[in-house]
Amino acid sequence: MRHLVWFRTDLRVADNPALYEAMAGGARVAAIYIDCPGQWRRHGNAPIQRDFIARHLSALSERLALLGVSLTVLEADTFAEVPALLAQWVAQQGIDALYANREIGINERRRDRAVQQALAIPCRVFNGDCVVDHGSLTTRGGDMFKVFTPFSRAWLARVRGSGYRLLPVPAAQGAPVPAGTTMLEGERRCSAAWPAGEAAAGQRLAAFCAARLDDYGERRDYPAEAATSSLSPYLALGVLSPNQCLAAMEAELGQLPFSRGERGFSWLNELIWREFYRHLLVVFPRLSMHRAFKPETEALQWSRDDELFRAWCEGRTGYPIIDAAMRCLHQSGWMHNRLRMLVASFLTKDLHIDWRRGEAWFMSRLIDGELAANNGGWQWAAGTGADAAPYFRVFNPTTQSERFDPDGDFLRRWLPELAAVPAGAIHAPHDWLDRHCPGHGYPPPVVDHARARRHAIAMFDALKDRE
Ligand code: FAD
């Protein structure tokens, strides 16, 4: 028997259900990854993430080689060509069954259905990206939860009752084989600031749990500090699994925290947010199709001001916290969660620009770009998503900056033109700059926040008038 494992967003050998099951029965196992550069461009993913994937593939290839499994990278321009390519490969190699972990985007699901139809062999698909499988948590009426809190209660009850499944690295199927080459063609941007491979991800996870779990709840909103795990790029590509995160927490704490106030609960809660958005994407395919979760918000009258959009993208809005965050994204490919919330709120509620433009911009820049979390975060901030918060809750960029970067350390890191501004003036620096640094060049605020907020609320009120 010959089994083929098709790696996608699960670039790891540990806790990988598809690999584990494929290797469990004594069959001879080979592995492939199919690069689709045209699909990549269509999805608008970031060149830095492409580089990160290429580096992980090389690490994965080496780890698989030690298990006696050879990884081949094939290329198909778009998903449409994948079924024929796979059918040919399977026939050439004499494969008896295909193993893969599920991907949840609508295009990925369509591709997988087409693959199943094109292949005359069994295709076995597993849950490798969530602790609790998609679709298995429902309300009493059998529907998916539409708000987070009841979902998280159900998730916690399930994990408390049934635990979670952590699979070991499979036993080698023989002597090591040479590691295959894993080059990816196309546009890439250097991701070297992020160490690649499962071992690096595991070290980061262990170091975070040992040093930061305890104060995560208190410090996680301060972007100048390294108080969060920075594991999102690894979770997004499946280099790390959420089960591994739970296991590391449990090893550190002795047990998992199941209620608010227990050590580590705040971090577990973020992992549950991750699963919430993934479960939503499976049940509501429209979220993969640039559509609002709340259909009535499709009627919102967004601004088409391209100049304001460019100012936001380039970090030239005159609001330091927004500009520092956007320049950080541009230069590093990553952004802190509090800042993602602030810049998303600013684009939609201060500039009144469609959340879809911000979502796409993030995707084209983020090393951790991931459809479910990105779409969920954007729709949450825009007031169009699965969220219990009222639409009139609009972040004030200046008071948020004062609160979460009180000394201005984060601002100074990314805005060299504010290097000399004292902490008391840095959150709204224009008066100070005009007095002390004439000709400073830092732009004036592109909008008046109070007026922009009123306009945003009026936009949403207008929806009610239509009902
Ligand atoms: P930690 O605070 O250490 O959290 C641990 C893990 O939990 C994260 O690595 C991530 O996998 C998950 N997580 C944390 N917060 C969230 C959240 N709010 N929603 C879903 N999962 C979460 N996350 C992405 O992985 N990819 C994205 O493309 C993405 N886009 C976002 C866009 C917007 C507008 C917003 C508001 C949030 C977005 N997030 C996204 C969620 C969150 O900002 C990042 O996951 C987080 O900042 C990553 O940092 P960390 O790894 O240090 O997280």
* Residue from 279, 337, 374 whose mutation best tests the ligand 1 pocket (most atoms within 8 A of CB): 337
Percent share of the chain, pLDDT over 90: 94
* Residue 232, marked binder: yes
Q: Which residue, judged by its Cα, is nearest atom 20 of ligand 1? A: 274
Nearest protein Cα to ligand 1, atom 22: 274
| Phi, psi dihedrals of residue 300, rounded to the nearest 5° | -60, 140
Q: Which of 62, 270, 402, 417 is an active site residue?
A: 270
Respond yes or no: is residue 378 known to be catalytic: yes
Q: Is 189 annotated as a binding residue?
A: no
Which of 250, 302, 417, 432 is an active site residue? 302
Using an 8 Å Cβ cutoff, are 320 and 415 in contact?
yes
Same fold for the pair 2-126 and 295-466 = no
Mean per-residue pLDDT, 304-314:
98
- What lies within 8 Å, CB to CB, of 283 at 6+ separation is 134, 135, 144
Is 356 a known ligand-binding residue?
Answer: no
Atom of ligand 1 nearest to the CA of 378: 34
| Overall pTM > 0.95 | yes
The class of domain 295-466 in CATH terms is mainly alpha
Q: Which ligand 1 atom is the nearest neighbour of the CA of 232?
A: 9
Band (184; pLDDT cuts 50, 70, 90): confident
* Domain covering 129-167+198-283 assigned CATH 3.90.230.10 in the classification: no
Asked whether the predicted pLDDT for residue 181 surpasses 90, the reply is no
**Of residues 123, 138, 320, 348, the one with CA closest to residue 224:** 320
Answer whether residue 102 shows pLDDT above 80.
yes
* 355 in catalytic set: yes
Q: Ligand 1: distance of its center to the CA of 373 in Å?
A: 7
Pocket of ligand 1 (CB under 6 A): 220, 228-232, 235-236, 270-271, 273-274, 277, 336-337, 340-341, 344, 362, 366, 368-370, 373-374, 376-378, 381
**409: burial class by Cβ within 10 Å (0-12, 13-18, 19+)?**
middle
Rounded Cα–Cα distance for residues 328 and 382 (Å):
22
* C-alpha–C-alpha distance, residues 375 and 372, integer Å: 5
**Residue 62 among the catalytic residues:** no
ipTM of the prediction: 0.99
Residue ranges per domain, the chain? 2-126, 129-167+198-283, 295-466
Quote the distance between the C-alpha of residue 339 and its chain's center. 15
Q: How far apart are CA 459 and CA 463, in angstroms?
A: 7
Q: Which CATH fold topology does 2-126 show?
A: Rossmann fold (3.40.50)
Q: How far is CA 222 from CA 163, 228, 318, 403, in A?
A: 32, 9, 21, 9
Q: What is the Å distance from ligand 1's center to 231 Cα?
A: 9
pLDDT tens track for 187-231:
899 999 999 999 999 999 999 999 999 999 999 999 999 999 999
Given the residues 194, 355, 380, 414, select the one marked as catalytic.
Answer: 355
Closest CA to 52 of 246, 201, 241, 273: 201
**What is the model's pLDDT at position 467?**
63
For 358-367, what is each residue's pLDDT tens digit?
999 999 999 9
Model pLDDT for residues 396-407, shown as the tens digit of each residue: 999 999 999 999
Let me know if 270 is a catalytic residue.
yes
Is 194 tagged catalytic?
no
Q: How far apart, in whole angstroms, are the C-alpha atoms of residue 451 and residue 267? A: 36
pLDDT tens digits along 64-89: 999 999 999 999 999 999 999 999 99
Residue 275 marked ligand-binding: yes
Catalytic residue at 414?
Answer: no
| Active-site choice (337, 396, 402, 432) | 337
pLDDT tens profile 120-174:
999 999 999 999 999 899 999 999 999 999 999 999 999 999 999 999 999 999 9
In this structure, the chain runs to a length of 467
- What whole-number distance in Å separates Cα of residue 89 and Cα of residue 86? 5
Which pLDDT band, with edges at 50, 70 and 90, does 387 fall under?
A: confident
Cα 250 to middle of ligand 1, angstroms: 21
Q: Does 273 belong to an annotated binding site?
A: yes
- Integer angstrom CA distances of residue 156 from 108, 150, 165: 29, 10, 15
Residue range 420-442: mean pLDDT, rounded:
96
The answer to whether 267 is a known ligand-binding residue is yes
Q: What's the token pair of residue 256?
A: 């998992």
- Nearest-atom number in ligand 1 for the CA of 343 is 34
